[in-house]
Amino acid sequence: MQRIRLRYTKRGRLRFTSHRDFQRAFERALRRAEVPMAYSAGFTPHPKVSYANAAPTGTGSEAEYLEIALTEPRDPDKLRELLDESLPAGLDIIDAVEARTSGLADRLTASVWELRLDGVPVEDAERAVAAFLAAETVEVRRKTKNGMRTFDARAAVAGLEAAHAQADRPGEGPCAILRLVVRHVTPAVRPDDVLSGLRAVADLAPPVPAAVTRLAQGLFDEESGTVTDPLAPDREAVTAAPPKAAGLAAAPEPTGAGSA
């Protein structure tokens, strides 16, 4: 059995697809591409696909990950191309690597998010960010399956900064961009929770909903404050693996006649 890890995106209007919608689209793509999938046992076998930390519905993403199990080996790059052609534009497979290490989900410990705040001057965003970072705790409320829940949105935030957005068209109004690095904790702290926290500590309320995109997710490096590529260990393992070659075993030393 071969395992392949894939990185995919949710772009444009496809950011409104739910995780279940993507699952259905991806399983159809597997069939179209004739991928030799391994299946689970039991009365209702399912393709062996492991999804890791999917982004909330309504947010874009450049860094979603999953793993598939195959019954026959395939070249990861060719498999990526076949699957990408079988998915709608916006759900794009942008990277593939053979799994040579364990624990992909364990390497997804933080995410980098971009929040576009149309109608918000960057100066207002900077003041709100400073107030949020200065607070020891920022309590927010969110409705969950078990009702309303209150939790601290500040502790999970490893980085938050504001910047000017580049104008797409001349004459556009003010627009601030927030860059957010948040650790994956329980309960999960999402970008909209941080926006609720900014509203609570600094009364920052964008006039239109924020456009949210996940730029990266992976292992959080405490020293540099960056998020590393979770597929890098698999690439390094492939590079470090010795080449497969037949007939290169050392020949036995001669014995008998002619030996010393």
Pairing of strands 60-70, 211-218: parallel
Which of 47-51, 95-99, 131-135, 172-176 is predicted least confidently?
172-176
Q: Give the pLDDT mean for 29-33.
A: 95
Structure tokens of 250? 């050392």
Model confidence at 143, in pLDDT bands (50, 70, 90)?
confident
The reported pLDDT for the residue numbered 171 is 60
> CA nearest 109: which of 226, 211, 194?
226
Prediction pTM value: 0.87
The reported pLDDT for the residue numbered 241 is 65
| Kind and range of the H or E run holding 1 | none
Structure tokens of 117? 């705040």
Q: Give the pLDDT mean for 187-212.
A: 95
Model confidence at 254, in pLDDT bands (50, 70, 90)?
very low
Is residue 187 reached through a cis peptide bond, with omega within 30 degrees of 0 on the bond before it? yes
What is d(CA 3, CA 254) in angstroms, rounded to the nearest whole number?
A: 44
Please give the domain boundaries of the chain with CATH numbers for all domains.
2-106 (3.30.70.580), 108-221 (3.30.70)
The reported pLDDT for the residue numbered 20 is 93
